[in-house]
Chain A
Amino acid sequence: MDYRAAFQISAAGMAAEKLRLDVTALNLANMHVAGSSAEQVYRPQRVITQTVSFSQQFGRLAGNAAGVQTTVVPQNVAPRMVYEPGHPYANAKGMVAYPGVDNVTEMVTLNTALRAYEANVTAMNAARTMAARALEIGGQQ
């Protein structure tokens, strides 16, 4: 296993966590964007990471980095209806549709992605330290 393979594995994990953070930021940015109707309101997105099969993972260890498979899917959540009769987008009952973004869930996802990213960076640094130590073999200290 090439020492670069360890770097590529960490890079794949970092890319996945970065995407998670981006999507969470997108959800938070659209949290208070009202839609003209309940159908056209923004639907919060979510990152689905798939585990690659063993053969793919083994191929990654052998050198050709495949990366973590990620897909961004919109969540099927009901929009948050707020009573605002004066709003231009209010319907007949005076209700305005806001995206059903759960603030708490998004913040927890944010923190989880941040910690996982840090873990990947730590793993990469450990791999680099091991490679650098191996280069010291036989040297005159």
Chain B
Amino acid sequence: MSIEPVSLTASLSAILPASTPALDAFAPLAPVQHPAPGFGDMIARCVGSVNDELVKVDNEVRQVAAGAGPSLHEVMIHLEEARLSFQLLAQVRNRLLDAYQEVMRMQV
């Protein structure tokens, strides 16, 4: 008794024709002119905005130290806002890393 080795391409070719009509039903959704902004783009944008905020606050601190610019409490509040936005980014990163590690621990 011999077991016929299963070939992946053969099984795929067996599956694909059957699923094509189902894929055709979703065809209007499929064509995308440009690649949609990915997850990495979103993270990069968040990092960029947080960095912009930190740079802006840094400039304000310089201005206050030079005796010009906005009032002291405004700068302190902007500092706190920048700190909170950075903490938010750090927490998002922590959660993402947790999810990634969860996936890596998964038994396949």
Partner-B contacts on A (CB < 8 A): 3-4, 7-8, 10-11, 14-15, 18, 121, 124, 128, 131-132, 135, 138-139
**A132 touches which of B71, B81, B84, B94 (Cβ 8 Å):** B84
Cα of A87 to Cα of B64 in the assembled complex, Å: 43
Partner-A contacts on B (CB < 8 A): 71, 73-74, 77, 80-81, 84, 87-88, 91, 94-95
Nearest CB to that of A124 among chain B residues? Answer: B77
Q: Which of B84, B87, B88 has the most CB of A within 10 A?
A: B84
Q: How far is the CB of A69 from the nearest CB of chain B, in Å?
A: 17
Q: Could you say which residues of chain B place their CB within 8 Å of the CB of A8?
A: 77
Whether the pair B73, A11 counts as a contact (CB closer than 8 A) is yes
Cα of A75 to Cα of B91 in the assembled complex, Å: 53
Q: How far is the CB of A60 from the nearest CB of chain B, in Å?
A: 15
Whether the pair A135, B71 counts as a contact (CB closer than 8 A) is no
Q: How far is the CB of A26 from the nearest CB of chain B, in Å?
A: 17
Given A7-B77, A124-B77: A139 touches B84 (CB 8 Å cut-off): no
Between-chain CB contacts (< 8 Å), 30 pairs: A3-B84, A4-B81, A7-B77, A7-B80, A7-B81, A8-B77, A11-B73, A11-B74, A11-B77, A14-B73, A15-B71, A15-B73, A15-B74, A18-B71, A18-B73, A121-B73, A124-B77, A124-B80, A128-B80, A128-B84, A131-B84, A132-B84, A132-B87, A135-B84, A135-B87, A135-B88, A135-B91, A138-B95, A139-B91, A139-B94
Cα of A6 to Cα of B36 in the assembled complex, Å: 35
Q: How far is the CB of A105 from the nearest CB of chain B, in Å?
A: 25
Q: Could you say which residues of chain B place their CB within 8 Å of the CB of A135?
A: 84, 87-88, 91
Q: Beyond the given A135-B91, A138-B95, could you list 19 further A-B residue pairs with CB under 8 A, ordered by the A residue number?
A: A4-B81, A7-B80, A7-B81, A8-B77, A11-B73, A11-B77, A14-B73, A15-B73, A15-B74, A18-B71, A18-B73, A121-B73, A124-B77, A124-B80, A128-B84, A135-B84, A135-B87, A135-B88, A139-B94
